[in-house]
Amino acid sequence: MPKVLADLWVQWLSARMKGRAQLTEAADAPVTILEEGTYFGENALLGSHEGRGERALGSVVALTDLTLQVLSPTALRDLGLKSSIRKRRAVQSMMDSEPTEMNEKLRQKSPEESELIKSALRQNEKLGPLVTLMSVADLDVVAAAAVRVDVEPAFEVIQQGSVKADNFYVVSAGELVVEKDGEKVQHLEHGGSFGELALLYRAPRAATVRSLTAATLFAIPRQELRVVMQAPLKKKIEGFATLLGRVDILKHLGNDEKAMLADALIEMTFYKGETIIQQGEEGDTFYILYDGQVSVLVDNQEVAKLQGTANSNANFFGERALLNDEPRAATIVANSDKVMVLALDREHFLMVVNPDQMVHGLSPKQAVSYELKALQYKGLLGCGGFGTVTLRKCMLTGNLFALKTLSKGYIVQQRQELAVMNEKQILRMTNSPFIVHLAATFNEAQYLHFLLEPAMGGDLFTVYTKKPFHGSAPHAKFYSACVVRAFQHLHQRHIIYRDMKPENLLLDSQGYCKVTDFGLAKFVIGHTYTTCGTPEYFAPEMVSHVGHNAAVDWWALGVLIFEFMTGETPFTASEPIQIFRLIQAGIQAVYFPRGSGPWANLVKQLCHEAPSERLPMRKGGVANVEVHKWYADFSWSQLNALTLEAPYIPPSGAESLANFDVEQVSRPPCVAYRDPGTGWDRTFEDVRGPRSFNRESSC
C-alpha cells in the first residue's frame, strides 16, 4: 500500500531521496515521478516561520522503500544557508500595445471549435481567477481571436526555457507530449490546453510541448485576452468622461482631454457621518457623487440631500476649486452607509488642460560633469535581471557611487528599451532621502550606465536572512515608515513604483531605508495595464489585468509588513498560478499568527480588495497610516527630520563590501549590441549631476 509522505499540511521540510515516489496535484492527478537524487518541499524553506504549517499543493506517495534526508528551516538558519537562497526576481508583461493583426482566415472556426476553445479555458484549473472574472460575452471574444495552427509530427510547439512565450494553446486534433527536463509529465489530445502562463505575463516556458502526430491547435495571443480584461475599466472611464461633460467649466474641453481627466479621477469611499468637504476650508478638489447619499449643510444646518447612482445623472460639487482658491461654501457629509465619489484635484486638471504648467525641475544642487573613465572600480555590489551594480570612487570628487551597468544588446533582445529610458526619466523626477538618487547617466557602444547614490548597508532581504529581525515590530515599523515616505514622494509626482520587496530596499550607513530599482516604475495619470512586479506582491487588480493605479503600491506595503513580521509573504506558493489563486482569495483567507493585533489590522486595511478602500486611498490619505494604532509609539516627525535612530546600524566602512552577498553566477547575459537604427537611446546620456548626496558618499 503506497504511503503518503506529504499531504494537505507540511511542517517546513525539504527532502532529498533514495528510491521512487510519485508527485500528484491536489486533485490526485499524477505530475511526475521522483527518483534518487531529487527533492521536494523546497518551497517550505523559502518563507515559513516556526509555529505555522503551510498547505501543500499536492502529495508525494512512496512507490518503493525510501530513504529521505530532511532539512528543516531551523537547520537552514543555523547552518547559515538561508542567505544563499536566490533573491526573488520581478516579472513583466510585454509593453502595452495593441493586438497584432492576423490573417482572418486563420481566425475562422466552426461553432463546435469555438465551444472547444471556451471549454478548454474554463477547464484549465491553473487559469482559475482569470477565467472566473470573464463573462460569456468575454469568452466569445477571446474564442473569436484564437488562431488556427497546424503542426507536423515531432514539432516543438514550445521549448522549455524559451522567453518567446506569447500564446496559450488549445488542442483541436492530434496528440502532443509535455516534457520537463527531458521527462514526460503529461499527454495532450483533443480538448487539452497548455501555455497558460503566457496569458498572465512574459515568463520563460516551464516545459517543452512536442507533437506526437500531426496536430491542429488554436493559439490565443496574450494581447487579445488583455483587451478583453481591460474593457470593463475602459467602459467605466468612458462613463466618467460623459459625466465630466455635464460640468459647466469642463464642457469646452475636447473628447481627448475629457478622457484623460476621466482616467485621472480617483474613486474614494466615505462611510456614514464622514465629512467629504468642510465649509470655510480652502479646497482644490472637485467631486462627483457616484453612488450613495450625502447631506449638504450650510452653517451646520442641512439645506439639501444629494443622491447619486452609477446608472443615473450624478450630482457634483466643488467644481470651482479646479480654478480658484475659494473657501468651501458648504459642508458635505456622507448620509448613507457607504458613499462613492470621484475626485479630481486642480493639479491633475492643470496637467491635462494646461500641460505647460507641469513642474519637471528639481531643486538646484551643486553640479559636476562626470566622466566614466574617472570612476575607479572598488567591487561588485549586486546583480539584477538586466545588469550589474559596482562600487565606484569618483577621481574628480573623491566620492563613492554605485554604477549600474546594462547590456544594450540584452535590453533590445528583451524589448526593454522604453523601460530603461522610463527608469532614467523617473529617477530624474525624484528627490527624497528615502529614494536612491541619480547622479548621471552614460551611453557607451555596448552598455548603458546609471551613476547612483551608494547605500552601503546592503539590502533588507540579505539583512533579514542574516539577522533575527523577523517578528520585530520596531524594525518593521521603521522600515515600513521609510517606504511610506518614499511612496508619498512618488505618488505626489504621479509615479507608481510596482516592485516593492525587501530586495529593493537598501540601508544607508545610518540604517535608513532607501527604495531602489525603478525599472518597473511608471509615470501615470489614471490607470495603467502592464502586468509587472514580483508575483507574491501583486495586488488583485494586477492579477486580473483590469487596470491599476497607485493603490497597488499600498497593497504591496501591506504584504511587506506581513513579511517583516512573519518571515514570509501572505501569498506564498511554489508556482505563480498558485500564488495568483491565493491573492484572488484575498487577505481575509490568510492566517495571521496569534497576538498579531494592530499590525494585522493595518495589513488588512492596506490589502483591501477594493483599491479605493485601501487605507491611504481613503480621505485623509497617508495620514491614515500615520495615525494607525500600530504606529502609536513611532515618531513620524523625527523620521521626517532624519533624527530618529534606526533600530539597526549596518557595519561601517566607507568602501567595505561586507554587507553585500553577490553570486557571480547571477550576472545577467551580455549580448552583443547592433544598433537597430531607431534612436531609442539617443537621449539617455546625461553626465551632469550633483557633486554628492550625503555624508555616506564622501570618503
Over the stretch 296-351, which tens digit does the pLDDT of each residue have? 999 999 998 998 876 666 688 887 777 677 788 899 999 999 998 988 877 777 76
Q: What is the separation of C-alpha 632 from the centre of its chain, rounded to a whole number of angstroms?
A: 29
- 247 by Cβ neighbours in 10 Å (0-12 / 13-18 / 19+) ranks as middle
If we measure between CA atoms, which residue out of 542, 541, 592 comes closest to residue 570?
592
| Distance from C-alpha of 404 to C-alpha of 517, rounded to nearest angstrom | 10
Above 50 in pLDDT, residue 232? yes
**Which of residues 302 and 356 earns the better pLDDT score?**
302
Question: Whole-number mean pLDDT of the chain?
Answer: 81
**Which of residues 475 and 686 earns the better pLDDT score?**
475
If we measure between CA atoms, which residue out of 561, 557, 554 comes closest to residue 477?
561
What is the grid cell recorded at 70?
530532511
Percent of the chain clearing pLDDT 90 (strictly above) = 45
Q: How many CA atoms lie within 13 A of 91 on its CB side?
A: 20
| Distance from C-alpha of 138 to C-alpha of 131, rounded to nearest angstrom | 9
**Which residues, other chains included, contact 44 with Cβ-Cβ below 8 Å and sequence gap of 6+?**
10, 11, 12, 13, 14, 54, 73
CA separation, residue 333 to residues 116, 275, 277, 594 (Å): 53, 4, 7, 38
Residue 602: how many other CB atoms lie within 10 Å: 23
Over the stretch 514-554, which tens digit does the pLDDT of each residue have? 999 998 999 887 788 888 889 999 999 988 888 899 999 99
- Hey, CA dihedral for 367, 373, 378, 381, is it positive or negative? positive
Homologous superfamily (CATH) of 457-651 is Transferase(Phosphotransferase) domain 1 (1.10.510.10)
pLDDT value at residue 3: 46
Helix pair angle (597-606, 551-566), 10° resolution: 150
How much is the average pLDDT of 43-57? 45
Coil vs helix vs strand at 683: coil
pLDDT value at residue 637: 96
pLDDT value at residue 63: 67
Report the first-to-last Cα separation within the chain, whole angstroms: 69
| Distance from C-alpha of 609 to C-alpha of 213, rounded to nearest angstrom | 46
- 15 by Cβ neighbours in 10 Å (0-12 / 13-18 / 19+) ranks as buried
**Which of residues 101 and 34 earns the better pLDDT score?**
34
DSSP category for residue 506? E
- Of the listed ranges 239-253, 331-345, 675-689, the least confidently predicted one is 239-253
Q: Are 542 and 559 in contact (CB under 8 A)?
A: no
User: Identity (one letter) of the amino acid at 311?
Assistant: N
Longest dimension (CA), the chain: 83
Coil vs helix vs strand at 101: coil
Strand pairing category for 58-62 and 21-25:
antiparallel
**Which of residues 528 and 217 earns the better pLDDT score?**
217
Bridge partners of 404, per DSSP, are: 389, 450
How much is the average pLDDT of 195-212? 78
| Distance from C-alpha of 455 to C-alpha of 453, rounded to nearest angstrom | 7
Q: Is residue 499 annotated as part of the catalytic site, yes or no?
A: yes
Above 50 in pLDDT, residue 163? yes
Per-residue confidence at 567, pLDDT binned at 50, 70, 90? Answer: very high
CATH number at 246-359? 2.60.120.10
pLDDT value at residue 97: 39
| Distance from C-alpha of 636 to C-alpha of 641, rounded to nearest angstrom | 9
Q: How many CA atoms lie within 13 A of 661 on its CB side?
A: 17
DSSP category for residue 541? H
Above 60 in pLDDT, residue 1? no
Domain 97-228 sits in CATH 2.60.120.10: yes
pLDDT value at residue 366: 60
Over the stretch 402-456, which tens digit does the pLDDT of each residue have? 999 999 999 998 888 988 998 998 898 888 999 999 999 999 999 999 999 999 9
Q: Are 160 and 181 in contact (CB under 8 A)?
A: yes
| Distance from C-alpha of 528 to C-alpha of 453, rounded to nearest angstrom | 29
**Which residues, other chains included, contact 189 with Cβ-Cβ below 8 Å and sequence gap of 6+?**
171, 174, 175, 176
- 544 by Cβ neighbours in 10 Å (0-12 / 13-18 / 19+) ranks as buried
pLDDT value at residue 533: 86
| Distance from C-alpha of 398 to C-alpha of 376, rounded to nearest angstrom | 10
Q: Are 113 and 106 in contact (CB under 8 A)?
A: no
In the sheet that 176-180 helps form, which strands lie side by side, from edge to edge? 156-158, 208-211, 176-180, 183-188
Q: Where in the chain are all domains bearing CATH 1.10.510.10?
A: 457-651
Rg (CA), the chain: 27
Over the stretch 468-517, which tens digit does the pLDDT of each residue have? 999 999 999 999 999 999 999 999 888 999 999 999 999 999 999 999 99
Coil vs helix vs strand at 154: coil
**Which of residues 314 and 178 earns the better pLDDT score?**
178
What is the grid cell recorded at 92?
513583466
**Which of residues 584 and 577 earns the better pLDDT score?**
584
Above 60 in pLDDT, residue 578? yes
Given the residues 263, 291, 459, 499, select the one marked as catalytic.
499
pLDDT value at residue 309: 76
What is the grid cell recorded at 184?
514526460
Over the stretch 381-393, which tens digit does the pLDDT of each residue have? 988 777 899 999 9
Above 60 in pLDDT, residue 249? yes
Q: Where in the chain are all domains bearing CATH 2.60.120.10?
A: 97-228, 246-359
pLDDT value at residue 395: 92
| Distance from C-alpha of 375 to C-alpha of 357, rounded to nearest angstrom | 38
